[in-house]
Amino acid sequence: MTRPSEDDLIARYFAPLAGEGAFGLRDDAACLSPRPGYDLVLTTDSLVESVHFLPDDAPGSIARKALGVNVSDLAAKGAEPRGFLLNLMLPDNWTEDWLSGFVAGLETAAAEFSCVLLGGDTVKTPGPLALAITAFGEVPVGRMVRRTTARVGDAICVSGTIGDAALGLALRKTPILAAGLGFDDAAFLADRYLHPRPRHRLAAALREHASAAMDVSDGLAGDLAKMMRASGASAVVELAQVPVSTAARKLVDVDGALLHRMVTGGDDYEILCTVPPTRLDMLRKEADRVGIPIAVIGQVIPGDDKPVFRLGEVERRYDVGSYAHF
Amino acid sequence: MTRPSEDDLIARYFAPLAGEGAFGLRDDAACLSPRPGYDLVLTTDSLVESVHFLPDDAPGSIARKALGVNVSDLAAKGAEPRGFLLNLMLPDNWTEDWLSGFVAGLETAAAEFSCVLLGGDTVKTPGPLALAITAFGEVPVGRMVRRTTARVGDAICVSGTIGDAALGLALRKTPILAAGLGFDDAAFLADRYLHPRPRHRLAAALREHASAAMDVSDGLAGDLAKMMRASGASAVVELAQVPVSTAARKLVDVDGALLHRMVTGGDDYEILCTVPPTRLDMLRKEADRVGIPIAVIGQVIPGDDKPVFRLGEVERRYDVGSYAHF
């Protein structure tokens, strides 16, 4: 079978997506500089088939996820997306149909997130499809929001709802769980697993009002533990305050144990941040303005224990995250 | 078997390599800005086991190659290395010994190339070991050396020697080829395949004197064709002028056909550049000063044919590159 060369492939599929500084993808490198008064924020995430997405996921969904998870990191750092590089490792059995779908999804996501393609690399692999995206954002100099700077007494907030993606994945693996859910609710949860909605419109508000932030990608419990450890603090969370979607609520009402899966499962791509109490109203107002719900779920407390999750009288410390095998 | 978490692994192995802007690898992102008056140049390359390196290559060699091929790209663009991100996709059977060796090689290479670790991502893969490095360099604003700007009449130059890596790989796959070569010569060729020597010390001279440049990674013939096509020109090369190492010369003297393999094989990581005749002496002088040999191998000519390689009366156009299956 004759395959297009890497150059042909770049010209046909990727060059139309190229942004300023990419030289039409006809060079070996790209050029990017922050505007005067801004720092460049760098983040990178790899995705491997069967680990980070499923083999039968639509190629456009995979592309969207790959870019979305990186833009989600930028958002949590208070950075506005600028551009990205794509490393694509294609197994021998790739098809032009697959690649067309992938590029179409990438184009839509890049436009939605205002993050242009700057360059990349396409290679063959004898193994599963894998890809990495490196994304670049801008923050005013010195204003990147850190994850190590939560302070005792700060409120702990999350955007959106938690646990939908974990349930969406569970439904795909165990369809019987969807019994009792309507089609729309099941579709909503499935979509939340497939299609991260990075909260880049929250970036400016986080810069102004958050003391620390990260995105929730490996599960709320593990990520909060990570942030607290990095900040030299602990936390208490009221499970009843953790925001849950209508669809997820229906499942939890039937099986309360699912709540634990929801706070330990990954792929939320919501913002987890700590906010000084005096700033809380201002953050809420800004979040309202951009249409992103924010909920207070707990508080930063002194100590070095893992965060406590309370539900009524019951307290629980999740042991996830620290032994994540990868 | 208990494995360290990704966080433990980062703290133990990678944090000691972290440079300024990496926040000790304790955040989700890094910060990097060019100095005032400079642009940031971005490049990325993926490496997959059995495609870009061999399964029994030493882990330190793999690390060095992964960083070296990226720094080689920066050098060709006239950029001074600043830092890099690492995406590491580890199969289940990785060992701490392997990782120690990898990190040791990475540290040595990073120091040699003045390119610090800024961040990255480690994930598991069911497939072969794979990695990607994204490297960042600096050039004075607007001075990135392009590959699309060769001009008719320019001299075509390469640094160092061509074809050693292709022969080194051939020797590993077909050891009998080494018959007649001494141990030192065979070791030299093997080393040239394993350990790219990026020409970053040539970056300033390229900015000053080259009209276009790229690094030779996919073979001289294919890469020159790529540069000429991108520049809307053609080229004539005198094969007898292509610089060849003493070790390679011994093999070519026995089997002249190897010369074709040398100009089509990859992994040279030398600089290919075009230079206006009036600038040639100055480039040579600068290259001498940093101890890197430069040879003139041909000339840019009008046309859109593939470059011609001449050896005495024989002319040859290589058909490589344009159908590279990946």
Summarize pLDDT for B52-77 with one digit per residue, the tens: 999 999 999 999 999 999 999 999 99
Mean pLDDT of chain B: 94
Cα separation values, B263 from A122, A138, B241, Å? 23, 43, 12
- Return the pLDDT at A322: 40
* A155-315 CATH, one of 3.40.50.740, 3.90.650.10, 3.30.460.80, 3.40.50.12780: 3.90.650.10
Burial class (CB in 10 A: 0-12, 13-18, 19+), B82: buried
Is the Cβ pair B120, A44 closer than 8 Å?
Answer: yes
Tell me which residues of chain A, numbers 261 to 320, contact chain B at a CB-CB cutoff of 8 Å: none
Residue A325 pLDDT grade (very low, low, confident, very high; cuts 50, 70, 90): very low
Summarize pLDDT for B264-315 with one digit per residue, the tens: 999 999 999 999 999 999 999 999 999 999 999 999 999 999 999 999 999 9
The owner of tokens 């940093």 is: B290
- Return the pLDDT at B64: 97
The residue among A106, A90, A130 whose CA lies nearest residue A13 is A106
Within 8 A by CB and 6+ apart from B8, the residues are none
Q: Which residue has the higher pLDDT, B269 or A178?
A: B269
Burial class (CB in 10 A: 0-12, 13-18, 19+), A46: buried
B149 in A contact zone (CB under 8 Å): no
pLDDT at A186 over 90: yes
User: Can you tell me the distance from the alpha carbon of B195 to that of B57, in angstroms, rounded to the nearest whole number?
Assistant: 11
The answer to whether B73 touches B135, Cβ cutoff 8 Å, is yes
User: Can you tell me the distance from the alpha carbon of A310 to that of B19, in angstroms, rounded to the nearest whole number?
Assistant: 40
Is the Cβ pair B90, A45 closer than 8 Å?
Answer: no
Chain B positions touching A33 (Cβ under 8 A) are 33-34, 38-40, 141
- Residue A198: other Cβ atoms inside 10 A: 27
The model's pTM is: 0.95
User: Can you tell me the distance from the alpha carbon of A72 to that of A197, in angstroms, rounded to the nearest whole number?
Assistant: 8
B226 CA: distance to closest CA in chain A (Å): 9
B156 in A contact zone (CB under 8 Å): no
Positive or negative, the CA dihedral B12, B14, B15, B17 is positive
What string of DSSP letters covers A83-147? EEEEEEEEETT--HHHHHHHHHHHHHHHHHHT-EEEEEEEEEESSS-EEEEEEEEEEETT-PPPS
The CATH fold of domain A6-140: 60s Ribosomal Protein L30; Chain: A; (3.30.1330)
Residue B89: strand, helix, or coil: strand
Q: What angle do CA A283, A284, A290 make, to 5 degrees?
A: 90
Summarize pLDDT for A230-274 with one digit per residue, the tens: 999 999 999 999 999 999 999 999 999 999 999 999 999 999 999
Domain B155-316: assigned CATH number: 3.90.650.10
Is the Cβ pair B41, A23 closer than 8 Å?
Answer: no
Pairing state between β B80-91 and B116-125: parallel
Chain B positions touching A132 (Cβ under 8 A) are 46, 87, 121, 132
B204 in A contact zone (CB under 8 Å): no
A228 CA: distance to closest CA in chain B (Å): 12
- Residue B182: other Cβ atoms inside 10 A: 11
The ipTM estimated for the assembled molecules is 0.94
B3 CA: distance to closest CA in chain A (Å): 6
Within 8 A by CB and 6+ apart from A64, the residues are A105, A106, A108, A109, A194, A195, A196
Is the Cβ pair B5, A144 closer than 8 Å?
Answer: no
* Residue B200 token pair: 């970053």
Is the Cβ pair A125, B128 closer than 8 Å?
Answer: yes
Tell me which residues of chain B, numbers 81 to 110, contact chain A at a CB-CB cutoff of 8 Å: 85, 87, 89-90
Of A32, A42, A52, the CB nearest to B118: A42
> Domain locations in chain B?
6-140, 155-316
* Residue A163 token pair: 């646990």
Is the Cβ pair B128, A130 closer than 8 Å?
Answer: no
- The amino acid at B60: G
Pairing state between β B212-216 and B270-275: antiparallel
For the segment B1-11, the average pLDDT, to the nearest whole number, is 79
Closest chain A residue to the Cα of B4, Cα to Cα: A323
- Return the pLDDT at A3: 72
Alpha helices in B144-297 (DSSP H): 164-173, 183-194, 203-209, 220-231, 246-254, 258-264, 280-289
pLDDT at B1 over 80: no
Q: What is the DSSP letter of B3?
A: -
A41 in B contact zone (CB under 8 Å): yes
A40 in B contact zone (CB under 8 Å): yes
